[in-house]
């Protein structure tokens, strides 16, 4: 079993005359792990990162690296590299001078500085660019220089705060893979802050989802996406349909609970779930758009499937896939995502929306999905 390398133990940050910015954050991060702090603006992710960096002092709790308490250690003594969204390069220095700056501050010899800077340039794919000024580089190249400067002194931990936020989509997609490759090759423990769910799912070993100053779920990208722990996570990470239902019966077993659910305009459906829900109470069924298929109303679902009658309202072409907007009799809109080549439907057509019951995530009906999604946006 791997020992944790970076530990956040009940860390909190409260500013005067305001609600806590970060509340009871406890995390255990292994050496060499790539962990992403994901959440909307104001959720506490950047404040938490700043406390790890030493820029902000926690109001309570402690931060440990390798078992050593660094909570009150100054930033320059923490052996932590930092990459910001705005690059923060010195405009009057060349690329090589920018990268070498942390080494000069540490009093390294000129020979070692030249060797380390050249090695860092090679790692980020900028060999031969050392004599250029930052203004002569593209945004993506400038961010590579910022990464090289952060890793050149071989820090124990690398912190990245929205590093790709200022770049266009195609460049961001390319740099996501490059950053992950660099991180793996160097084995640096990395904390990455973003509000972009695509970045988090693509790059992370684990994701910590923040909301209102708290970590609401921690897990691998697949577990966060496939098994969200609450309505907020289901609405913020990926696109989801939230269907209200009533619990008719519950049977407990070794593999969890078996529920019989009643959806509007549907026959009772049997769903397995680890969630504990009250019998005869209301619940929220989360179904991803890609898990739903569209069938004629004459097609009857299989015993392991759920089916709800709906009317196609709109078909939105998105290239390789299309989004169908279907309206239930209750008036709720459901989104279905299918390959564009398979679309043979038209608006106002009556259909059945069908999905495997194993693709249903059951959650307590404790908050309106619409309010959660608005908060996430």
Please state, in angstroms and rounded to a whole number, the distance separating the CA atoms of residues 249 and 262.
Answer: 10
pLDDT confidence of residue 265: 74
Please state, in angstroms and rounded to a whole number, the distance separating the CA atoms of residues 269 and 81.
Answer: 52
pLDDT confidence of residue 167: 83
Please state, in angstroms and rounded to a whole number, the distance separating the CA atoms of residues 2 and 368.
Answer: 39
pLDDT confidence of residue 2: 54
Domain 241-376, CATH:
2.40.50.140
The domain defined by 4-234 folds into: Rossmann fold (3.40.50)
Ranges of residues in the chain whose predicted pLDDT is under 50 = 1, 368-377
Which ranges of the chain would DSSP assign to H, the alpha helix?
45-53, 95-105, 110-123, 139-151, 169-186, 197-203, 221-226, 231-236, 369-376
Q: Are 230 and 365 in contact (CB under 8 A)?
A: no
pTM of the model: 0.89
pLDDT confidence of residue 323: 93
Q: What is the pLDDT of residues 299-334, one digit of tens each?
A: 888 889 999 999 999 999 988 899 999 999 889 999
Domain definitions of the chain by residue range: 4-234, 241-376
pLDDT confidence of residue 1: 44
């Amino acid at each position: 079993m791997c020992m944790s390398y970076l530990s956040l133990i009940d860390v909190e940050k409260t500013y005067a005359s305001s609600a806590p910015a970060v509340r009871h954050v406890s995390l255990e991060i292994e050496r060499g792990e790539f962990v992403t702090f994901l959440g909307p603006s104001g959720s506490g992710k950047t404040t938490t990162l700043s406390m790890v960096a030493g820029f902000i002092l926690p109001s309570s709790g402690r931060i440990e690296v390798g078992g050593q308490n660094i909570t009150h250690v100054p930033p320059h003594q923490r052996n932590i590299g930092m990459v910001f969204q705005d690059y923060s390069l010195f405009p009057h220095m060349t690329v090589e001078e920018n990268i070498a700056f942390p080494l000069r501050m540490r009093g390294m010899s000129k020979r070692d500085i030249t060797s380390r800077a050249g090695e860092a340039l090679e790692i980020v794919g900028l060999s031969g660019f050392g004599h250029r000024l930052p203004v002569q580089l593209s945004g993506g190249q400038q961010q590579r220089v910022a990464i090289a400067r952060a890793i050149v002194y071989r820090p124990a931990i690398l912190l990245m705060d929205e590093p790709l936020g200022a770049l266009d989509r195609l460049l961001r997609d390319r740099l996501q893979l490059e950053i992950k490759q660099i991180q793996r090759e160097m084995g640096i423990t990395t904390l990455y802050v973003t509000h972009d769910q695509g970045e988090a799912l693509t790059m992370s070993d684990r994701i910590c989802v923040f909301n209102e100053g708290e970590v609401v779920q921690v897990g691998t990208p697949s577990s966060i996406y496939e098994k969200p722990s609450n309505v907020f996570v289901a609405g913020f990470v990926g696109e989801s349909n939230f269907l209200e239902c009533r619990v008719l019966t519950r049977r407990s077993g070794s593999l969890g609970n078996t529920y019989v659910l009643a959806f509007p305009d549907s026959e009772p459906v049997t769903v397995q779930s680890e969630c504990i829900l009250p019998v005869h109470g209301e619940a929220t069924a989360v179904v991803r758009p890609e898990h739903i298929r569209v069938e004629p109303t004459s097609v009857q679902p299989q015993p392991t499937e759920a089916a709800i009658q709906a009317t196609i309202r709109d078909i939105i072409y998105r290239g390789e896939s299309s989004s169908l907007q279907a309206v239930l009799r209750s008036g709720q809109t459901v989104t279905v995502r299918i390959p564009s080549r398979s679309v043979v439907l038209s608006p106002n057509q009556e259909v059945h929306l069908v999905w495997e019951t194993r693709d249903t995530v059951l959650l307590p009906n404790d908050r309106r999905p619409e309010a959660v999604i608005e908060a996430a946006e």
